[in-house]
Structure 1
Amino acid sequence: MAVTHHEKPRTLRLWRWRSNPLRRRSDRVEAWIVLLTWVLAVLGGTIAGLVAGGAADRALAAQRAKAHPVSAVLTERAPKSPQATTDGSGGDTVWAPVRWTGPGGSTHTARVEVEPAAAAGTRVTVWADRTGRLVTAPLNPTEATIQAAATGVLAGVGSGAAVWTVGRLARVRLDRRRLAEWDAEWERVGPQWRKRMTG
C-alpha cells in the first residue's frame, strides 16, 4: 500500500505547538501571537461590524422617523434648463422656489430641485421635520439596509486589519529580538567552535 504524506503540511504549520528540543520560548510566544491575532481579528472584526452596522441602521431609522413628505407649490415658473440657474443643479433638474404649509398653519419657503420649465402652481413633494423645516429626503428602508450593511462590512474589515497589523508588528519585533539573541549566542559560541575546527 502506498504511503501518503497528507499530514506533513499541518505538522509544519503547528510545529511551534509541539514539544521538541528545538522549540524556543520565542517560538511559543510567536505561536500565541499568531493564534490571538487571528481570533481577535475575526471576533473583533465581526463584533465591530455588527455594532457599526446596527448603529448606522438606528441612525438612519431615526432620520426617517423625523422626516415626512409634504406637498409644496412652485411660486414661479422653473427655469427651462439647468444652465439657466446659477444655483447649480443635480443633473436634469433645476432649482426653483416653493412654498408649503407646516404644522399649525405656518408658511415656509425654500428653493428645491424640480423638473425644468415646471409651471408656477405645480405641486412637488418635499421633506420636512416636525417643525415644518425643510430636510434632506431620507433613504428608503432598502437603501438604508444596504448602507448599514456596507458600514458594518467596512468597520469589520478595518478592525480586523488593524488587529492583524498589530500582530504583524509584534512578530517583527519578536524576530528582531531573536536575531539579537542569535548574534549574542554566536558571539559566545563562535570562538569555541572555530578553535575546534582549526585545532
Structure 2
Amino acid sequence: MAAFRGPRVWLWRWRRNPLRRRSDELESWLLLATWALTLVTGLLAGLATAHAVESSLAQQRAEWHPVLALTSKNTPAASTSAASHERVWAEVRWTAADGSPHTGQARVEPGSTAGTPVVVWTDRDGRLVTKPASASQAGLRAGMSGVLVGASAAAVPLGGGRLLRRRLERQRMEQWDAEWEKFGPQWGWKTG
C-alpha cells in the first residue's frame, strides 16, 4: 500500500517553511533556471540550425543546374553478378556556361559507348556536384538537423545544472555530517 503523501501543493519549493535551508532555496532556483535555460537553448539552437540548413539547400537549388555531358570512353557492360540497374563510374566531358571545357567522373549506365549523353549537375563555377535536394527533402534534412542540434545544445545546460545540484547535495551532506558530529553524542546523555 502506498504511503499517504497528502494533497499535491503547487510551487512547494518556494513556499515558506521553517525547515527550509538556504541550500534548499538555492536548489529550487537552480532547478528553475536550469529547465528554462535548457528549453530556450534547445529551441533557439534547433531553430537556427534548421533555418541555416534550409537556406543553404535553397541556395544550392538556385545555383546548381543540370548540364548535358558526353562520355569520353566506352564503359564496361553490366556483369551478371551485379544488379542490372547499378550504374558505373565513367569519365565525362562538358562545356560550362562560360564556354570552358571540363572533364570529370560521373555515374553512367553500364555498356555506354563513347559520346553517350549523360545529365550531370554543376555549380556556377562549372564543377561537378551532386543533384541538389528537393524542397521536401530539404525540409526533412533541416528538421532533422534542427532536432539533433537542439537536443545536443539543450544537454549542455541540463548537464551543468545536474552537476551543480550534485555539488549542492554534497555540501548538504557535509553540513549534515558536521551537525551530526556536534549533536549526535548528546543523545547518549540521560536525563533525570
TM tier, shorter chain? Answer: 0.7 to 0.9
Deviation per CA, 1:4-60: give whole Å up to 9, x if none.
x9972x32x743211111111111111111111111111211111001111111222
Looking at structure 2, the residues matched to 184 and 24 of structure 1 have their Cα atoms a distance apart, in angstroms, of 15
Residue 102 (1) aligns with residue 102 (2) = no
User: Percent identity among equivalent residues?
Assistant: 48
Unaligned runs of at least 5 residues, structure 1 = 84-90
Q: Which amino acid aligns with 2:25?
A: R
Q: Which amino acid aligns with 1:95?
A: W
Residue 130 (1) aligns with residue 103 (2) = no
Q: Which amino acid aligns with 2:103?
A: T
User: Is the CA contact 1:93–1:115 (under 8 Å) kept in the aligned structure 2?
Assistant: yes
Q: Which amino acid aligns with 1:22?
A: L
Partner of 2:166: 172
In terms of fraction of residues, the more helix-rich structure is: 1
User: Is the CA contact 1:82–1:93 (under 8 Å) kept in the aligned structure 2?
Assistant: no
Q: Which amino acid aligns with 2:117?
A: R
2:55 to 55, 58, 71: 58
Residue 81 (1) aligns with residue 75 (2) = no
Q: Please, what TM-score do these two structures have when normalized by structure 2?
A: 0.87
1:144 to 120, 138, 147: 138
Partner of 1:18: 15
Looking at structure 2, the residues matched to 75 and 34 of structure 1 have their Cα atoms a distance apart, in angstroms, of 66
Q: How does 1:107-122 map to 2 (within 5 A)?
A: 107-122=101-116
RMSD of Structure 2 on Structure 1 (CA): 2.4
How far off is 1:119 after superposition? 2.6
Q: Please, what TM-score do these two structures have when normalized by structure 1?
A: 0.84
Q: How does 1:31-42 map to 2 (within 5 A)?
A: 31-42=28-39
Q: 1:24 to 1:55 in 2, by over 3 A?
A: same
User: Is the CA contact 1:74–1:119 (under 8 Å) kept in the aligned structure 2?
Assistant: yes
SS of 1:103's partner is coil
How far off is 1:172 after superposition? 0.6
Partner of 1:71: 68
Looking at structure 2, the residues matched to 138 and 36 of structure 1 have their Cα atoms a distance apart, in angstroms, of 42
Looking at structure 2, the residues matched to 72 and 187 of structure 1 have their Cα atoms a distance apart, in angstroms, of 86
SS of 1:96's partner is strand
Partner of 1:162: 156
SS of 1:139's partner is coil
User: Is the CA contact 1:82–1:92 (under 8 Å) kept in the aligned structure 2?
Assistant: no
Unaligned runs of at least 5 residues, structure 2 = none
